[in-house]
Every structure is written in structure tokens, then in C-alpha cells.
Amino acid sequence: MAQKTKIQIIQFSFIGIANALIDIGSLNVLLFLWPTEGASTLLIFNTISYTLAIINSYIWNSKYTFSHRANFNYKQIGLFTFQALIALLVSNLVFIGFYELLKDGFFIQVPKFINHNISKGVAMFLSSSTSYLLMRYLVFRKSKPAKDVKS
């Protein structure tokens, strides 16, 4: 693995830890204030917590992890938004899917607080992996050198 890629993964991981704290922290605050087991409310809470984390992600990843490729133009912001929506979809599907599996005692019966956090952890891992790949190969990809046009 190239040294630059290793550094990017380390930077992305540290930023990911901060994002995870924001994501799971805000989800737990929302669940503490308004306890629920309803899928639609959980989707809203997950979307809010994920959105807070993705805003943090853009700020820090564009300044550090991918700073050498960050342009802050409409195209790049649009691509970032696109990848964020895909990662949000992954997060919501995995979060609700795992929560429903755990809630029904498919494996073992545990408190709903634990179910929420296990489901969120799996969702964060898969959506973060999706986000990294999309940011690296779509949003902050290397620009192709312009070809000289010969007359």
C-alpha cells in the first residue's frame, strides 16, 4: 500500500472517530429525549445524527485527508452531497435492518438501548467504508492532466 494511501486512511480514521462520536452521541441524545422503537422516528433520528457527522466529515476531510484535491467548487460539493446521500441510504438501511433483527430477539434479547447502539455501530462502519471509497475515487479523485490539442 502506498505511503500516501496509508496516511489518508489514518487521517480518515481519526476524522471518522470524531464523526462516530458526533453520530452516535447525537442519536443517543435524541433517543434519550424522545425514546422510541418506531422505524420512521428512528430513521429521522438516524438521518439527523448522520447529517451532523457528514458535515463534520466534509469540513475535516477537505481540510486534511483530501486537502491536496479539495477544490470547493460546485461540482465537488455536488459529488460530496451525492456520496453523502448514498452513504446515508446505506446507514439507514443497515441501522433499521439490524435494529429490527435485534429487536425481535433474533439472536438474543437485549435492552433496546444496546440494540440501538449495536445497530448504529454496524451502520456507521458500513456507511463510513462506503463514504471513504466514494470520496477517494469520486469526490476527491485525481484530476486527469489536460491533453494538448494539436492543430
**pLDDT tens by residue, 83-93:** 889 999 999 99
According to the model, what pLDDT value does residue 73 have?
77
According to the model, what pLDDT value does residue 47 have?
95
Whether 44 shows a pLDDT value over 60: the answer reads yes
Q: Domain locations in the chain?
A: 3-139
At a CB cut-off of 8 Å and minimum separation 6, what does 15 contact?
56, 57, 60, 61, 64, 65
| Alpha carbons 143 and 9: distance in angstroms, whole number | 20
According to the model, what pLDDT value does residue 132 have?
79
* Range with the largest mean pLDDT of 71-75, 122-126, 147-151: 122-126
At a CB cut-off of 8 Å and minimum separation 6, what does 109 contact?
none
Q: Are 101 and 107 spatial neighbours (Cβ–Cβ below 8 Å)?
A: yes
**Within 13 Å of residue 102, how many CA atoms lie on the same side as its CB?**
19
Whether 131 shows a pLDDT value over 90: the answer reads no
* Range with the largest mean pLDDT of 10-24, 34-48, 75-89, 91-105: 34-48
The arithmetic mean of pLDDT across residues 96-116, rounded, is: 80
The arithmetic mean of pLDDT across residues 93-108, rounded, is: 82
Whether 40 shows a pLDDT value over 90: the answer reads yes
According to the model, what pLDDT value does residue 146 have?
53
Q: In whole angstroms, how far apart are CA 24 and each of 59, 102, 125?
A: 19, 18, 12
Q: Are 52 and 78 spatial neighbours (Cβ–Cβ below 8 Å)?
A: no
Q: In whole angstroms, how far apart are CA 63 and each of 27, 57, 82, 129, 137?
A: 26, 10, 19, 19, 17
The arithmetic mean of pLDDT across residues 101-117, rounded, is: 78
